[in-house]
Chain A
């Protein structure tokens, strides 16, 4: 079975996010970019399925600016076999456009399982996996914390509000990963060298014949309001008085 994993280049999780002075977007100038952590978990799960003999090939796909090839290389260094990069340039891609491009890749590659992160830590949309399943007409299981592949089915445990839900899907299927699914491995130095030589095909939306129309405009981004300075009180009475009369919360 072939597994297709979609990965996204995002602002690194350790970076303090800044909004541009004109509030038009998040400022990415000179900011460290990385593989989205949920996507990393998806790559790791694919590797574990291959190591367990459930998969034979892992294809990683990403899109965006040229530099996003770095994130494909990271996935290849972890152990994926080959990459596909769809160059879309600086244009803001909404989830539906991403899902349409991925659906075309699914059509061309015919994978048995498609793994994605449940969401990207930059836009937090949590839509692409669901849209992709719908476009392909495949069953889907989101927020996976456990995946067991047997023959032509996958049994997926989902993290839902207040508990767990287990679903059995017929393959091919789309599964999105949650945080507790696995802990991704550390990349080894020789594997980074090997990854540089693994095949990475570059294509464009035009070559794939998928029109990328943007139907959503980003209007404005605001940073969280600054917290005003606190005060120190001497006694419980003063605290109650401050909560009642100054903060007016009780």
Chain B
């Protein structure tokens, strides 16, 4: 049986939304609110690849409540899980493995002040948003990945096709084979998050990034800890940078004290690093041994682990966000404000604006498939645009001048000129092209994990509750299977072994015996391989529905 030729069932909706993150859920809620206000019938379907809403959500997170307040002015009454207001903000520069310098408040860029913000589990915020969406009449379907684009004859987007279930590792259908469905819509909103795999196809199909600077990414690795109650200070927010990163590798760490004696600790490493021996996972593990962090974690217990790539190119890298039949929202487009290290409020707002644009079109009798260029105007007239525009130099300054001078530039730009300096810094080198040959570096010897503060990769992945049915084709596709061993290994010591935070990629054997192994079952869906492979040879596609991590309150 040829799976590509198969007859598929089809369902029609007014709007289909891909991804139950903050952007997709905010769009869904806003659409239904507008329909109710105008007494109009509207069918909205939201598909999510995780086994439940929140299962694939991973973020710090300190969030601004601005978008939630706009969407649900009575959010507190509705029980939104924004329970921990930020009490205190601390920023450090780690000088070495023991010393840290606290940055005086007066020198902190204004965007990095967190008064009025909340420490949340973004997974739980999404679970709450999904309840609101369902209450408003949205059909929410977790466990159903949008695996393919559905196009009309004129090339416009007609919806998506959900993933086929029950295909064996040999690519043949099993007895349980259940073909995916066509979900047809007048308009489709793509809210897949950073490096969405349909988003990637849309970028090339409609040349969405033709006029934008190269997108930039980071990899965020995070752990959730139960810490000693006597050390817990609910509402404490700590950020910092410096050690253990260096040698052209940049990034920053976070440690937030959330509710129930839990703390979250994480490290975000910019994916434009050049040393192929860098292992973001091991950098994070050793970072936790710095006394500033270790003092809080000692005596505690690690509860959960996960990782996710972050779109951080900001304003200059924003693509065109509309195309015939659909809109791109949230991190799928790259609306994160890197100067604030926050993307939830901007993602939600971009989703709400998309909902308003689509609803206005449908209300005017639009039958779908049009290029809703009016979304641009809505976006440009919103606070998201103003905010991103003001922060446009933040990332490029750090990339160009390093954290010291770049940081000084950002202080002057953000605190004195409030982002209105008439210069725009650009950074147009894609992250994957920044790797330098391994021969220029010495391998990095990372310390052995102690099993108390630091851990190995496999026991970490175990705590992401990741699961994929073994009997299915690998969802990590190599365009050219000879590249890992033929090119990446001799030139870059195959960096996939190290940038993957879940131990998916391994080089087994040596010399002529060397072979590349992909342990796709371990994949936590962070998308780093799709971004950082120097040959751009790895394509992340959706596995069988429900596969991937099962994050708790991450």
Judge whether B181 and A16 touch: CB under 8 Å: no
- Whether B511 sits at the interface, judged by CB under 8 Å, is no
In-complex Cβ contact of A189 among B181, B260, B303 (8 A): B181
- Check B550–A32 contact: CB distance below 8 A: yes
Question: Residue of A at shortest CB range from B123?
Answer: A30
The answer to whether A189 touches B466 (Cβ under 8 A) is: no
Binding-face segment, A115-123, A132-140, A180-188? A180-188
Please tell me which one of the listed residues A15, A186, A190 contacts residue B166 in the complex, with CB atoms under 8 A apart. Answer: A186
CA distance A21 to B232 in the complex (A): 15
Contacts of A189 in B (CB 8 A): 11, 141, 144, 162, 181, 183
Q: A16-B463, A18-B303, A188-B181 are in contact. Are A31 and B552 (CB under 8 A)?
A: yes
Task: Give Cα A229–Cα B143 distance, bound, in whole angstroms.
Answer: 38
Residues of B within 8 A of A192 (CB): 141
User: Shortest distance in angstroms between A52's beta carbon and chain B's nearest beta carbon?
Assistant: 16
- A186–B547 CA distance with the chains assembled, in angstroms: 13
Set of chain A residues within 8 Å of B553, measured between Cβ atoms: 29-30
Q: Is A12 an interface residue (CB 8 A)?
A: yes
Which chain B residues numbered 115 to 133 have a C-beta less than 8 Å away from chain A? 121, 123-124
Please encode chain B, from 463 to 502, with 1 for each CB lying within 8 Å of some chain A CB and 0 for all others: 1011100000000000000000000000000000000000
B385 at the interface (CB under 8 A from A): no
Contacts A12-B550, A14-B550, A186-B166; is A30 near B124 (CB within 8 Å)?
Answer: yes
| A193 interface residue per 8 A CB criterion | yes
**Interface residues in A, total, Cβ within 8 A:** 21
Residues of A11-41 whose CB lies within 8 A of B: 12-16, 18, 21, 29-32
Q: Do the beta carbons of A21 and B11 come within 8 Å of each other?
A: no
Decide if the interface of chain A is mainly helix, strand, loop or mixed: loop
B52 at the A interface (CB under 8 A): yes
B55 touches A32 (CB 8 A): yes
- How many CB-defined contacts (below 8 Å) exist between A and B? 56
| Interface residue total, chain B, C-beta cutoff 8 A | 33
Nearest-neighbor residue (CB-CB) of B552 within chain A: A30
B165 within 8 Å of A (CB atoms): yes
Q: Given the complex of chains A and B, what is the CA–CA distance between A31 and B165 in angstroms?
A: 25
Q: What's the least CB distance linking B9 to chain A, in Å?
A: 7
Chain B residues whose CB sits within 8 angstroms of the CB of A29 once the complex forms: 260, 552-553
Q: Which residues of A contact B380 (CB under 8 A)?
A: none
| Given contact pairs A14-B467, A16-B463, A190 touches B178 in the complex (Cβ within 8 A) | no
Partner of A14, one of B141, B144, B175, B466: B466
Partner of B175, one of A31, A32, A183, A190: A183
Please, which residues of chain A bring their CB within 8 A of the CB of B11? 189-190
When C-beta atoms are compared, the residue in chain B nearest to A226 turns out to be B451
Interface: B205 (CB within 8 A): no
Interface residues of A in 181-222 (CB under 8 A from B): 183, 185-190, 192-193
Cα A12 to Cα B143 with chains together (Å): 14
Q: Which residues of B contact A12 (CB under 8 A)?
A: 51, 465, 550
Contact of B52 among A18, A32, A183, A229 (CB under 8 A): A32
Cα separation A32 to B183 with both chains bound (whole Å):
27
- 8 Å CB contacts to A: which residues of B136-168? 139, 141, 143-144, 162, 165-166
**B residues less than 8 Å from A32 (CB atoms):** 51-52, 55, 465, 550, 552
Contact check, A193 vs B139: say whether CB atoms are below 8 A apart.
Answer: yes
> Taking A21-B226, A30-B124, A32-B465 as contacts, is the C-beta distance between A185 and B552 under 8 angstroms?
no
B4 within 8 A of A: no
Evaluate whether A16 and B465 lie within 8 angstroms (CB atoms) in the complex, with A30-B552, A32-B52 already known. Answer: yes
Q: Given the complex of chains A and B, what is the CA–CA distance between A216 and B502 in angstroms?
A: 42
Chain B residue at minimum C-beta to C-beta distance from A184: B176
Nearest B residue to A15 by beta-carbon distance?
A: B465
A62 CA to B124 CA, complexed, in Å: 26
Q: Which residues of the other chain, A, contact B52 by a CB distance below 8 angstroms?
A: 32
Q: Taking the complex as formed, is B379 at the interface, i.e. its CB lies under 8 A from any CB of chain A?
A: no
- Pick the residue among B124, B165, B451 that contacts A186 (CB under 8 A): B165
Which B residues contact A (CB, under 8 angstroms)? 9, 11, 51-52, 55, 121, 123-124, 139, 141, 143-144, 162, 165-166, 175-176, 178, 181, 183, 226, 260, 303, 451, 462-463, 465-467, 545, 550, 552-553
Can you give 14 contacting A-B residue pairs, CB < 8 Å?
A12-B51, A14-B466, A15-B465, A16-B462, A16-B463, A29-B553, A32-B51, A32-B465, A186-B545, A187-B143, A188-B178, A188-B181, A189-B11, A189-B162
Q: Given known contacts A32-B465, A189-B162, A192-B141, what 18 new A-B pairs fall within 8 Å (CB)? A: A12-B51, A12-B465, A14-B51, A15-B465, A15-B550, A18-B303, A21-B226, A29-B260, A29-B552, A30-B124, A30-B553, A32-B52, A32-B55, A32-B552, A183-B175, A183-B176, A186-B176, A189-B144
